[in-house]
Amino acid sequence: MEWLVPIVVALIGGPLVIVVQRLRKENTDQHAESREILNIVVTNLDKVDKKLDNHIDWHLKIPKRKGK
């Protein structure tokens, strides 16, 4: 009866390992996609930051009007 235990473990464990490996691959692919999207967001954020800095500088350079 001792020979039955490894067979049962293999029958249950084998498919579980396959499912876990597939989920792991999908998770890796999702992480790669997320990393690409984050890079795009960072690039766009840098552009907005530069535009905002330029706009603030413009406000600081214009002469102040009387009465304001």
Give the confidence band of 68 by pLDDT, cuts at 50, 70, 90. Answer: low
The CA–CA distances, whole Å, from 63 to 6, 7, 17, 26, 52 equal 85, 86, 71, 58, 19
22-56 pLDDT per residue, tens: 877 778 888 889 999 999 999 999 999 999 999 99
The pLDDT of residue 3: 86
1-13 pLDDT per residue, tens: 888 888 888 888 8
The pLDDT of residue 53: 95
The pLDDT of residue 56: 94
Joined tokens for residue 34:
């997320």
Q: What's the predicted TM-score (pTM) here? A: 0.53
